Amino acid sequence: MSNFRRSQNQSNPNKLNAILSSLIFILILNVSIQIWLLYAALNNALDNNKEILIPAFVASLILFLIGFSWLYYLPKGNFKK
Amino acid sequence: MSKEDNLNKNWKKDFPIEKQLATSVSRRDFAKFLTLVSGGLMVGSGLVAAKAYIYPKEQVEGDHFVCKKDEVPVGGTRAFVIEGSTIPYILIHLENGDFKAYEQKCTHLSCSVFYKPGTGIIHCPCHEGSFDAKTGDVLAGPPPRALPGLDVFFKGNDVYVKAAVQEKNPA
């Protein structure tokens, strides 16, 4: 049976390159936003502004889940068995 | 030792991986590592929130005597700590006659701040941060937050401090 993984494994290396590059680009973007969220949360926690802490954590969690599920699309490479 | 001998050494058979291969990081591994970092940041964010809700910053309770009014000249300062706490504070006698009390720790990296007499500026010498002595707000430099302060009040000639009233913006 043909599935997503099999066709991806058979695809052109150029296509795999594009997939990997955009995947890594989005992961770096997510991590940057998370660093900013952590910095803002820390500053507000020290300033006794608690309202923002939970939303910042939830946003960080969502970004992590996006990155984690994104890994499903990580190409396995053109390995021959 | 000839090159041939070196190649036949036992460790090369035990670990038959070329140096280039051993040190290279594949894009797959890099992407996985980025996700790990992302998870770490998420956990850190959670810890910050948990810390703030479970162990909130302790407020100064009650009134605390600092000194007599005439012990601090105009433009002068006096350092003090509150009993049961290790946070250093400074009492400032401003040129307009007001008394103000702030934490002596810069909000940037906790360096000791000092009052510059005559300027109305509390200065941090470490990274040239400046705070407004009247309000504690940041005027210049890297500090991200205003200096936390205490409310000053008087009983006769005695100067007392108590926890600053939280100014909450009505929503």
Q: Range with the lowest mean pLDDT among A34-43, B8-17, B68-77, B83-92?
A: B8-17
Q: Answer whether B125 touches A (CB < 8 Å).
A: no
Side-by-side strand order, sheet with B138-140: B114-116, B121-124, B129-132, B138-140
Q: Which residues of A touch B52 (CB under 8 A)?
A: 45, 50, 53
Q: Answer whether A33 touches B (CB < 8 Å).
A: no
* Cα–Cα distance measured from residue A45 to residue B96, given in angstroms and rounded to the nearest whole number: 33
pLDDT tens digit sequence for B49-76: 998 888 877 777 777 887 887 787 888 8
8 Å CB contact between A41 and B48: yes
Q: Kindly state whether residues B32 and B78 are assigned to the same domain.
A: no
Query: By residue range, what is the domain housing residue B39?
Result: 3-54
Q: At A2, is the pLDDT very low, low, confident or very high (cuts 50, 70, 90)?
A: low
Note whether A53 contacts B34, CB cutoff 8 Å. Answer: no
Q: Kindly state whether residues B115 and B134 are assigned to the same domain.
A: yes
* Cα–Cα distance measured from residue A48 to residue B170, given in angstroms and rounded to the nearest whole number: 16
ipTM of the complex: 0.85
Q: Kindly state whether residues B148 and B107 are assigned to the same domain.
A: yes
**Cα torsion for A22, A23, A26, A31, to the nearest 10°?**
-140
pLDDT at B169: 47
Of B46, B53, B145, the CB nearest to A47: B145
Q: Identify the residue with better confidence: A2 or B104.
A: B104
Domain at B101, CATH number: 2.102.10.10
Q: Identify the residue with better confidence: A73 or A37.
A: A37
Domain count, chain B: 2
Q: Range with the lowest mean pLDDT among A9-13, B122-126, B131-135, B147-151?
A: A9-13
- As given in the structure block, the two tokens for residue B93 are 């006698």
Average pLDDT score over residue span B128-157: 85
* Cα–Cα distance measured from residue B49 to residue B27, given in angstroms and rounded to the nearest whole number: 33
Q: Identify the residue with better confidence: B8 or A7.
A: A7
pLDDT at B95: 83
Q: Kindly state whether residues B24 and B89 are assigned to the same domain.
A: no
Q: Kindly state whether residues B40 and B91 are assigned to the same domain.
A: no
Tell me whether residue A26 is exposed, middle or buried, using C-beta atoms within 10 angstroms of its C-beta: 0 to 12, 13 to 18, 19 or more: middle
Of A24, A48, A60, the CB nearest to B45: A60
Note whether B46 contacts A61, CB cutoff 8 Å. Answer: yes
Mutate to test the interface with A, among B26, B35, B45 (most CBs of A within 10 A): B45
Q: Answer yes or no: is B36 within a domain.
A: yes
pLDDT at A45: 87
Note whether A45 contacts B52, CB cutoff 8 Å. Answer: yes
| Residues forming a β-bridge with B159 | B67, B154
Predicted TM-score of the model (pTM): 0.72
Query: Number of H helices and number of E strands within chain B?
Result: 4, 10
Note whether B45 contacts A23, CB cutoff 8 Å. Answer: no
Q: Identify the residue with better confidence: B83 or B46.
A: B46
**Residue A77 identity:** G
Q: Which residues in chain B (71-90) have CB-CB distances under 8 A to chain A? A: none
Helix (H, G, I), strand (E, B) or coil at B169: coil
**Residue B10 identity:** N
